[in-house]
Amino acid sequence: MTARPEVTALVERVCAVAAGHVDKTDDLASFPVEALDELRVTGLLGLLVDRAHGGLGGNLRDVLAASIQLGRVDMSLAMIFAMHCQQVAAVVGYAEPKLADELLPEIAAGRVYLASVTTEAGKGGHLLSSETELGVAAGELTIDRFAPIVTGGAVADGFLVTMRSPGARSANQVSLVYAHRDQLEVTASGDWQPMGMRASHSLALRLTGRVPEHQVLGGQGGFRQIALQTFAPLAHLGWSACWLGTATGALSRVLRMLRSPTGRGSADLDSELLLTRLSTARQRVDTVHALLWHTADVVESAPELSVPRVQLLLNALKITAAEQCYQAVEALIDAVGLRHGYLRGSVTGLERAHRDLRSAALNYSNDRLHLADGKLALLDPDVHLV
């Protein structure tokens, strides 16, 4: 699956910048500001914004292809980009015309990088509920929200925030609200010292402020619909694309090293163990690649995304990509051994890829998805495959 050449060329510019800074941002656990600047100037922050609003007019496939391409170089950056596009898709799909006209040109011009505020203390990653209620005062909406983890929160120019709808009876009535950074007081806390995904620089944030009512996306209580139609599909597809990119990049660098004149001299390319491990890694990324694009086809063409068979496929993609991309890199570490598999500074980058990909199963936990999938499987006793 190839993206439009003009998009590929723009993403390549970002990859070139990222390659020059990825060691530093990983070492320091700092946000990839140089690569973000290149995303701004290339217009890629507005990849999903239509041309009428000044964007690149791209689609889901462009986002996935770009995420794979970025993931080859830096998984943190790829995730930052994919999650930003997920937020933009929600704005494109659900913003009132007034908000769309205000915000989309700013995104397209590279002036707005969007962060997502969906985490909340005590709800354990339950995307569709919120315990903190949106206030109403003098015709405006008041936000006072703590989020334990916001990727890119320290540098984001705007936030999409989930909050319980005003006057809601249950935690299931959730609204999605846009807030520009200058409409908020943003207080960051905590430290970011993770095993991998270090450049995703995720912090705890407290957001307080006021926004006009037209900044609610999809109406009050509309988040459930946005989540089912846009957020969840794009999250699973986007994350899987990033992970696939990282595993693919790792495999590519290992193969290049083995084929190089020095590599051929030092590795036994007739070793059955080595050949089997290379084959297994390739098989895993091919499997994820096929499942990714098949799932994208289904999401684009299915008349209804909420039926069990489509939900099961989306979850299966996420679980499979998380497992298989990680295991592909594991196999490559065994294939090349300590020097090029375990030490920092190897041209293979396996050490970082392994740390980064270890997060995949934890990021919207596979364990939780399996529980949901078990229930969904029971709802489809005829096992309709899609």
Partner 1 sequence: MSTLDPRFVAMLEPFLPFAAGEPITEESDLRELGLDSMQAIELMFAVEDTFAVVLPDDALTEHTFATAGSLWQVVSRAMGDSVVTS
Q: How far is the CB of 257 from partner 1 (least distance, A)?
A: 47
Q: How far is the CB of 384 from partner 1 (least distance, A)?
A: 6
The yes or no reply on residue 367 touching partner 1 (CB under 8 A) is: no
Q: Give the residue from 78, 104, 79, 80 showing the smallest Cα distance to 92.
A: 104
Nearest-angstrom CA–CA distance, 134 and 95: 18
Which residue among 138, 338, 378, 385 contacts partner 1 (CB under 8 A)?
Answer: 378
C-alpha distance from residue 273 to each of 343, 354, 356, 380 (Å): 21, 20, 26, 41
Of residues 347 and 379, the one with the C-beta less far from partner 1: 379
Stretch that binds partner 1, among 115-123, 250-258, 274-282, 300-308 (CB under 8 A): 300-308
Output the 3-class SS for the chain: CCCCHHHHHHHHHHHHHHHHHHHHHHHHCCCCHHHHHHHHHCCHHHCCCCHHHCCCCCCHHHHHHHHHHHHCCCHHHHHHHHHHHHHHHHHHHHCCHHHHHHHHHHHHCCCCCEEEECCCCCCCCCCCCCCCECEEECCEEEEEEEEEEEECCCCCCEEEEEEECCCCCCCCCEEEEEEEHHHEEEEEECCCCCCCCHHHCEEEEEEEEEEEHHHEECCCCCHHHHHHHHHHHHHHHHHHHHHHHHHHHHHHHHHHHHHCHHHHHHCCCCCHHHHHHHHHHHHHHHHHHHHHHHHHHHHHHCCCCCCHHHHHHHHHHHHHHHHHHHHHHHHHHHHHHHHHHCCCCCCCCHHHHHHHHCCCCCCCCHHHHHHHHHHHHHHCCCCCCC
Which residue among 60, 308, 323, 358 contacts partner 1 (CB under 8 A)?
Answer: 308
Q: Within positions 71 to 130, which residues make up the interface with partner 1, using CB under 8 A?
A: 128
Which residue among 189, 252, 266, 306 contacts partner 1 (CB under 8 A)?
Answer: 306
Total binding residues toward partner 1, as defined by CB under 8 A: 23
Of residues 270 and 367, the one with the C-beta less far from partner 1: 367
Q: How far is the CB of 358 from partner 1 (least distance, A)?
A: 27
Q: Give the residue from 128, 161, 78 showing the smallest Cα distance to 359.
A: 78
The yes or no reply on residue 375 touching partner 1 (CB under 8 A) is: yes
Amino acid letter, 75:
M
Stretch that binds partner 1, among 3-11, 230-238, 269-277, 306-314 (CB under 8 A): 306-314
Of residues 87 and 311, the one with the C-beta less far from partner 1: 311
Phi-psi sector, 138: left (phi>0), alpha (psi -120 to 50), beta: left
Q: How far is the CB of 164 from partner 1 (least distance, A)?
A: 11
Of residues 172 and 183, the one with the C-beta less far from partner 1: 172
Amino acid letter, 373:
D
Q: How far is the CB of 381 from partner 1 (least distance, A)?
A: 8
Q: How far is the CB of 179 from partner 1 (least distance, A)?
A: 25
Stretch that binds partner 1, among 110-118, 207-215, 356-364, 371-379 (CB under 8 A): 371-379
Which residue among 137, 265, 382, 385 contacts partner 1 (CB under 8 A)?
Answer: 382
Of residues 5 and 303, the one with the C-beta less far from partner 1: 303
Q: Within positions 165 to 194, which residues make up the interface with partner 1, using CB under 8 A?
A: 168-170, 172-173
Q: Within positions 206 to 245, which residues make up the interface with partner 1, using CB under 8 A?
A: 221, 224-225, 228
The yes or no reply on residue 307 touching partner 1 (CB under 8 A) is: yes
Q: How far is the CB of 364 from partner 1 (least distance, A)?
A: 15
Of residues 228 and 316, the one with the C-beta less far from partner 1: 228
Q: How far is the CB of 182 from partner 1 (least distance, A)?
A: 34
Q: How far is the CB of 230 from partner 1 (least distance, A)?
A: 13
Q: Which residues bind partner 1 (CB under 8 A)?
A: 128, 168-170, 172-173, 221, 224-225, 228, 304, 306-309, 371-372, 375, 378-380, 382, 384
